[in-house]
Amino acid sequence: MGKTKVKFADPLKIEKSEQLWSKTIKVIPGGALTFSKAPFQHVDGVAPKMLSHGKGPKVWDVDGNEYIDYMLGLGPAILGHADDEVNRAISDSLEHGISTSLVHPLEAELAELLCEIIPCAEMVRFGKNGSDVTSGAVRVARAWTKRDKIACCGYHGWQDWYIGSTGRNLGVPKAVQDLTLKFEYNNIESLQRLFDEHDGEIAAVIMEPVNFFEPKDDFLNKVKSMAKENGAVLIFDEVITGFRMSLGGAQEYYNVIPDLACFGKAMANGMPVSIVVGKSEIMQMFDEVFFSFTFAGELASLSASVSTINALKKRDGISQIWAMGERLQKGYAQLVEELDVGHITKMIGFPFWPEYLFLDKAGSPSMEIQSLFQQEIVRRGILTRAGMMISSSHTNIEIDKTLAVFKDALIVVKEAVKTDNVLNWLEGEVITPVIRPPVEE
């Protein structure tokens, strides 16, 4: 029994974090500029709210506490934070100016590189955030098909056309909300239903090609055929899978080539750049469709993207990410068995993006138990949300340290669950989700 003795971690010193947060919240509504970085995504009162810097797989909060980071700025830092090679590329590019007055040759240089690595890419347009390019792709699909409705599956960003279909739809006109329809992953009938009910009206099928589950029963090819038969443009939203599942995204991994695809997050190791790519005949519509903004060709980000792609190739970064994810998943499964907590937790997802889940007695996801786990791991130096982002700078050392922390935390969780009063063990607030289900009116 010695092995499974409950060990409590000391509370973190987060006074400076709290002080700076009170200052921030006075001048920035909501405090965090991205919901996913907000205190309600961690155990508020226990976890830090403010970070000061990061290097490789580690970050430090403003109080000086060190963490192994599995948030990676919500995905972008695919090589690890403050990568020397990418930083050099950024600082070299600064000599040319940041935003040029006419087109710069680097735009075509990066576009050519992307056309080499992404199977569907014959032409490229740049954006800044994932939402820019999913929205650009949707607008082009509407222009191409002369239809208005969109079928979607997954998360696609903050713009009206998508967020109006979620519970975070404040400010989105009802008329816009009604144009976006949802289908379920691995449920081809749910897409068929949309095409039946909105015959001849659906401009695009946009989807995350994978999320946490493998496509089953040739799902991606079936979606592709169904979109084609119904005259809709197929758009893969590879904002997460891009450069993480493989350099060419899930479309390369599964060899299912969409009409258009969107990449973002991990394209430039943290610099803001995203792309919509695809078949020339559709991409040419961007000549007329308004997708035009000041910072699209900003050079520091484009240089960072070239450098990130080259570094991922040179360092075999994607294999490293998969190997570390597999080590984490295998280790977690072993812990679950060793501690006999299979009724409380499991890890799902692909090695490039594993996610831990905590379940209540009825087998439903439990934010309370997850919060207790997160309390225990953040106090022991692991910063993550349930979906864990791994960079190519994570090594066996970080993964093994993480698993050792997970073991101590799972022992606490197991004991807490036995008492039937998990909240009693929690010293901060229960985590709440960013997107709630839409509310029926």
Ligand X SMILES: Cc1ncc(COP(=O)(O)O)c(C=O)c1O
Interface residue list for ligand X (CB under 6 A): 129-131, 134, 154-158, 208, 237, 239-240, 264
Q: CB 154 → ligand X: shortest distance, Å?
A: 6
Token code pair at residue 381: 């130096």
Closest residue to ligand X, Cβ-based?
130
Cβ distance to ligand X smaller for residue 154 or 325: 154
Q: CB 232 → ligand X: shortest distance, Å?
A: 19
Q: Which of 394, 381, 388 is CA-nearest to residue 315? A: 394
Cβ distance to ligand X smaller for residue 36 or 395: 36
Cβ distance to ligand X smaller for residue 34 or 396: 34
Q: Which of 245, 241, 253, 209 is CA-nearest to residue 227? A: 209
Q: CB 251 → ligand X: shortest distance, Å?
A: 14
Cβ distance to ligand X smaller for residue 240 or 410: 240
Q: CB 127 → ligand X: shortest distance, Å?
A: 9
Q: CB 427 → ligand X: shortest distance, Å?
A: 29
Cβ distance to ligand X smaller for residue 144 or 236: 236
Distance CA 267, CA 298 (A): 14
Q: CB 431 → ligand X: shortest distance, Å?
A: 17
Token code pair at residue 92: 């070299």
Q: CB 271 → ligand X: shortest distance, Å?
A: 12
| Whether 383 contacts 347, CB under 8 Å | no
Cβ distance to ligand X smaller for residue 158 or 253: 158
Cβ distance to ligand X smaller for residue 59 or 235: 235
Token code pair at residue 157: 């960003």
Q: CB 131 → ligand X: shortest distance, Å?
A: 3
Distance CA 422, CA 232 (A): 48
Cβ distance to ligand X smaller for residue 12 or 250: 250
Cβ distance to ligand X smaller for residue 128 or 379: 128
| Residue 358 backbone phi and psi in degrees, to 5 | -120, 140
Q: CB 43 → ligand X: shortest distance, Å?
A: 22
Q: CB 254 → ligand X: shortest distance, Å?
A: 16
**Count of other CB atoms within 10 angstroms of residue 198:** 16
Cβ distance to ligand X smaller for residue 86 or 239: 239
SS3 assignment for the chain: CHHHCCCCCCCCCCHHHHHHHHHHHHHCCCCCCCHHHCHHHCCCCCCCCCEEEEEECEEEECCCCEEEECCCCCCCCCCCECCHHHHHHHHHHHCCCCCCCCCCHHHHHHHHHHHHHCCCCCEEEEECCHHHHHHHHHHHHHHHHCCCEEEEECCCCCCHHHHCCCCCCCCCCHHHHCCEEECCCCCHHHHHHHHHHCCCCEEEEEECCCCCCCCCCCHHHHHHHHHHHCCCEEEEECCCCECCCECCHHHHHHCCCCCEEEECHHHHECECCEEEEECHHHHHHHHCCCCCCCCCCCHHHHHHHHHHHHHHHHCCHHHHHHHHHHHHHHHHHHHHHHHCCCCCEEEECCCCCCEEEEECCCCCECHHHHHHHHHHHHCCCEECCCECCCCCCCCHHHHHHHHHHHHHHHHHHHHHHHHCCHHHHCCCCCCCCCCCCCCCC
Cβ distance to ligand X smaller for residue 65 or 274: 274
Q: CB 248 → ligand X: shortest distance, Å?
A: 16
